[in-house]
Structure 1
Amino acid sequence: MAQDVKPTRSELIELKKKIKLSESGHKLLKMKRDGLILEFFKILNEARNVRTELDAAYLTAAEKINLASAVNGMVTVKSTAFTAKESPEIQLSGHNIMGVVVPQISSTGVHKSLVERGYGIVGTNSYIDESADAYEVLVEKIITAAELETTMKRLLDEIEKTKRRVNALEFKVIPDLIATMKYIRFTLEEMEREGTSRLKRVKERMK
């Protein structure tokens, strides 16, 4: 019958180191979680403002295109739209927010001059120009909203992941390590008492 493996002092020392390391990691993760939450709410407020601006830009663009269609006819408006020589270009890069890489979207060629839009002055009027302006503003708002909302999603995913790690350390890993340390310490103390008692009995026999 195999004997139970007895714990040692070195195991107790290593366990103390693990607890200290886990507590340090727990503290850092809580700081990261709190920092990410602050960043999230800051971007959330910005996203709300952009969403309001986006809704207003959409209503303005719809109003302008309806007016241009009423004055010039839908066929003229559509044919004018197809004269665009160049499409806007989107550049996607990333930047770091507390260890989370979030998108940074920039654009060129959204706002265009009359020449860049491709249609001539003859055959068009200010209603079409205003419609084009309104839709260019709308496109810019859409790009900004897309960047902010994607950033929020990535931050929220990282917050949830960090919260799970914090909770795992706080309610599972660290308590289990502390319970194991207490058990080892109790066992070692028992072994020392048994050793002392055995030594006393040996000394009494020798007398």
Structure 2
Amino acid sequence: MSGNNARINIFPTRMALTNMKLKLKGAQTGHSLLKRKSEALTKRFRGITVKIDELKRTMGQVMQQASFSLAQVQYFTGDISYQIQEASKTAQLRVRAKQENVSGVMLPAFEMYNEGGNAFEFTGLGRGGQQVQKAKEVYTKAVETLVELASLQTAFVILDEVIKATNRRVNAIEHVIIPRYENTIKYIISELDEQDREEFFRLKKVQSKKKERAAVEDAIRARNAMEADRNGHEAPILQAAEETGQLNVLDHEDEDIIF
């Protein structure tokens, strides 16, 4: 069967009815939990969307300042790219990942940190030192913003997939599983009611047959009694007396008593 009339094919018994009610209760509980999970994830998803929009706007401004700062450095110090390449042996800014649990969903979070000393402390000593330091701070801020944006974008993609899957499960439970259990329970109850009505009708018929049989037997007894009276048989009272062994007091002779 399909649609709202879909139900599970099961033999209608009291035990089956109890099991289906337990399954319906579990489905309703699961639906409630998944619904709350979906709402919590959706709330977090919207918050991340707002933060991403803000960070993208901030990123545009930071990159604009960084480009302007780099132009100032090149204007005051000339080409210092070879000095940077010579001084940079290892990365000073590093990124580490951690996980955050949001309603059972593990979201990665990236965090930037400094490792090692300042590799550019002597850059720009001749001229343009202030511009170089400013450019370094601005680009550090740009990298930090990029790391935060990458963390939010990753969480955005993961949450989007999880919310879609959770909503599909919620809709499946709400529109397929729960109606199927409810229709099965209605079917079992209707079948059990029909069985009860059939049993009640059968008992009434049996009782009616017993009453008819008792009436026939009473009629036969009455007819036999009338025929016995007609044929001159003894009265029922005398027959009962003889059957119990009691004699007539007039026919009984008392023994002599010696004083």
Q: Distance in 1 between matches of 2:100 and 2:120?
A: 33
Q: What does 1:13-162 align with in structure 2 at a 5 Å threshold?
A: 13-73=18-78, 76-82=79-85, 83-87=87-91, 88-109=93-114, 115-117=118-120, 119-125=122-128, 126-162=130-166
Q: What does 1:164-175 align with in structure 2 at a 5 Å threshold?
A: 164-175=168-179
Q: Deviations over 1:21-56 (max 9, x none)?
A: 111111111111111111222222222222211111
Q: Secondary structure at the match of 2:181?
A: helix
Question: Relative to structure 1, is the Cα distance of residues 141 and 103 closer, same or farther in structure 2, using a 3 angstrom cutoff?
Answer: same
Q: Secondary structure at the match of 1:92?
A: strand
Q: Deviations over 1:121-143 (max 9, x none)?
A: 44552333332222111111100
TM-score (norm 1): 0.86
Identify unmatched segments of 5+ residues in structure 2: 1-8, 213-259
Question: Would the aligned equivalents of 1:77 and 1:128 in 2 still touch at CA under 8 Å?
Answer: no
Q: Secondary structure at the match of 1:117?
A: coil
Identify unmatched segments of 5+ residues in structure 1: none
Q: What is the number of residues matched between the two proteins? A: 200
CA apart distance, 1:57: 0.9
Q: Distance in 1 between matches of 2:143 and 2:95?
A: 11
Q: Deviations over 1:80-127 (max 9, x none)?
A: 3312243122111111111111112122228x97x4326534455233
Q: Which amino acid aligns with 1:190?
A: E
Q: Cα RMSD (Å) of the superposition?
A: 2.3
Q: Secondary structure at the match of 1:116?
A: coil
Q: Which amino acid aligns with 1:132?
A: K
Q: Which amino acid aligns with 1:130?
A: K
Q: Distance in 1 between matches of 2:127 and 2:206?
A: 114
- Identity over the aligned pairs, expressed in percent? 26
Q: Distance in 2 between matches of 1:193 and 1:18?
A: 27
Structure having the higher Rg: 2
Is 1:179 equivalent to 2:180 in the alignment? no
TM-score (norm 2): 0.70
Question: Relative to structure 1, is the Cα distance of residues 173 and 25 closer, same or farther in structure 2, using a 3 angstrom cutoff?
Answer: same
Q: Which amino acid aligns with 2:71?
A: N
Q: Which amino acid aligns with 2:61?
A: A
Q: Deviations over 1:8-29 (max 9, x none)?
A: 1110011111111111111111
Moved over 6 A (4+): none
